[in-house]
Amino acid sequence: MIEVLPPFEYFKNQKPFSFLNDDELAEIIRGLESEIFRKGATIFRRGGKPLKYVYIVKCGRVELRDGTNEVLTEGDLFGVASALSGNPPRFTAVALEDSVCYLIRRNSFLKIFNSNQKFADFFTSLLSRRLSSLLKLSKKAGHGLDRLYSVRVADVVSRDAVTCTPETSVLEAAQIMDRNKVGSVVVVNGKKPVGIFTQRDLMKLVARGVNLEESVGSYMTSPIISVSESDSLIDAYLAIVTNAINHIVVMSNGDVKGVVSTKDILLRLSSASSLLSISRKIVRAGIDELEDVMDEARTSIEDMISSGADFEEMSKIACGLYELIVKRCAKLTLDGCVFLAGDFGRGEAVLPPVHMGVIADDWQKFVNAARRIGLQPIDVSNSMDGWFETINEWFSHPDEFAWEILRFMDTRHIFGPKDAYATWKKKFEEELERRAEDVARVFAAESRKEGDMAKALLYAIKAAELRGIRDEEAIEAYRVVRDVTTRRTLGCPLSKIDELLLKEAGKILARLQESL
């Protein structure tokens, strides 16, 4: 065995070793050896003695054989489970070509594993296949979205709510706001909040010459939009964006706790303020302006993803923005019902196309406008009778319409008559229940044929659900794959951890497909 110490920087720049301080990294390097394995050489065997080293491929290729073979390349680690647990290896490792591996002594590895929590979390997540935890560990903060989730709404409310009754005059409400130096007053009936009145509302009434002795109940915004004090800032943000408001009421155990404004959120989250400003533009935009706003929203979202924003976090924000755009477009052009479908129906998408369905007799103007501003495709636009014919055709030939059925299994109403959407959904679900096993069989077959891992996972997940099985591990793998592949689509370089995540997701997919 030839002992070679690599440059300090080699490990310093590679996760998870980048989590270590200089002293910890020095401990790893002190316990480091290297070995050359010739093509065809067995590095260790499945069921053999517990490993005394953790291995890292420095150059060459190594294959792990355990029934489902996996090829490792430069930077990949292996042998961790056996070294940590003291159990025999679960696979055989063979050099596919002349290869050099770094070997970290087990004692050195365990010493750092037991002292550095982030380092330990990395391997714990990997070995337990908690892919989303591993993905978050691999990313750097700095985009500001982490604060949206870590900060509770209660942390932003600095004082008790200022209230009045519906019978309070507009003038008196103005005096109450001035006296308490607040920008809004919550209108309550007993203890129940029934509306909110803001300084902006007051300015509009003054400009119109309204008699300020009239009751505030006639001019308040009602019903109120509220969040719980235990909700995160993202919940408050999305409520503000999707409802196009400036203030939101915070509730605590059924009582009014306070009010949070857009200004409060901006003070906590300056780096995401561009998204809030975009939402303001949407609610005032015409169709011409919506096209520009759509481009601006997409650019902002792409930038935040590229900077390391978590897919799950960004999907909530992105879906909130795109939903607002769809609603505005529909308000300007449609007398009918709109519902989101597929990834947008689940609230798990960050970039167009925005899949949706439209129920209306006259839908062409909306469809043309939506396509113009970049919301295409509109999957199906039809009258209710036309929709029923379409649904019947889909389920009569599920092998031909598998992708359509898959997308419309997850839908969410966002505009127009809810009873129309309820009628549509009842029809779709009745047909799905009637043909559940046929659709599950088709989905399982499509999953095996599909070259896109995310789609293959989704087909397999839905096939399992149709048979009464919810596979949480596969659902997590799907979300992680969406995160990694979205960044790849945007041209972001993938790390070794990203490649590892895709490999692990592939194993989960293969396991689920085998069970179907």
CATH code of the domain covering residue 51: 2.60.120.10
**Other Cβ atoms within 10 Å of 498 Cβ, number:** 19
Task: Check residue 347 and report its DSSP letter.
Answer: T
Place of tokens 């919940």: 235
pLDDT of 129 reads 53
pLDDT of 259 reads 87
Token digits of residue 29: 């390097």
Same-domain check for residues 224 and 324: no
pLDDT of 142 reads 44
Confirm whether 280 is domain-assigned. no
* Confidence tier at 119 by pLDDT (50, 70, 90): confident
pLDDT of 411 reads 95
pLDDT higher than 50, residue 3: no
Token digits of residue 459: 């087909």
Confirm whether 298 is domain-assigned. no
The β-bridge relationship of strands 42-44 and 92-95 is: antiparallel
Q: SS3 of 180, please?
A: helix
CA distance 309 to 122: 19
Same-domain check for residues 25 and 171: no
* Confidence tier at 267 by pLDDT (50, 70, 90): low
Same-domain check for residues 408 and 375: yes
How many residues appear in the chain?
516
Please say whether the dihedral angle defined by the alpha carbons of residues 144, 150, 153 and 157, taken in this order, is positive or negative: negative
Confirm whether 3 is domain-assigned. no
In whole angstroms, what separates CA 456 from the centre of its chain?
19
Same-domain check for residues 345 and 479: yes
Confirm whether 327 is domain-assigned. yes
The pTM of the full predicted model, rounded to 2 decimals, is: 0.65
Confirm whether 178 is domain-assigned. yes
* Confidence tier at 514 by pLDDT (50, 70, 90): very high
The angle, 0 to 180 degrees and rounded to 10, between the axes of the packed helices 117-127 and 106-115 is 110
Give mean pLDDT, residues 245-250: 83
What is the tally of structural domains in the chain? 3
Domain residues for the domain of 442 are: 129-144+308-516
Same-domain check for residues 189 and 91: no
Nearest to 122 by CA among 505, 497, 504: 497
pLDDT higher than 60, residue 1: no
Listed residues 248, 268, 288: the one ending a domain: 268
Same-domain check for residues 140 and 160: no
Same-domain check for residues 428 and 486: yes
Confirm whether 102 is domain-assigned. yes
pLDDT higher than 60, residue 138: no
Same-domain check for residues 91 and 205: no
Confirm whether 278 is domain-assigned. no
